[in-house]
Amino acid sequence: MAMETFNLFKGETDETQSTTPGHRYRVARLGSKLGGARLGMSVYDLPPGEAIGPYHFEWTDEEWLIALDGRATVRTPEGEHMVDPGRVLIIEAGGGHV
């Protein structure tokens, strides 16, 4: 069985086809790239001022945001949080964010 790999800094991302203003980004869905059947992990490349989607809730699973480069602003019910490179932010199941 061959082990699949993905380089977080050099791996190929795919352009999204969003028609919503402010939601332009590139993404690599790692579950499918690595051959995973149950892995829900994505790498996003966000231009300044863009978002991956509207405000939403994580109903069943927690979601982790790890900033690799640049700064990300994440809005939650508690307010805005700045995530610097190397920082990790966890959105708990039931938590909302954008």
Query: Tens digit of pLDDT for each residue in 47-57?
Result: 888 888 888 88
| Res 2 pLDDT > 80 | no
Residue 89 forms beta bridges with which residues?
65
Reported as a pLDDT band with limits 50, 70 and 90, residue 84 is very high
Q: Which of 22, 27, 25, 24 is nearest to 8 (CA)?
A: 27
DSSP assignment of 5-62: ---TTT---EE----STT---EEEEHHHHTT-SS---EEEE--TT--SSSSEE-SSS-
Predicted confidence band at 85 (pLDDT cuts at 50, 70, 90)? very high
Q: What is the pLDDT of residue 33?
A: 86
CA separation for the pair 90, 4 (Å, rounded):
26
Mean pLDDT score across all residues of the chain: 86
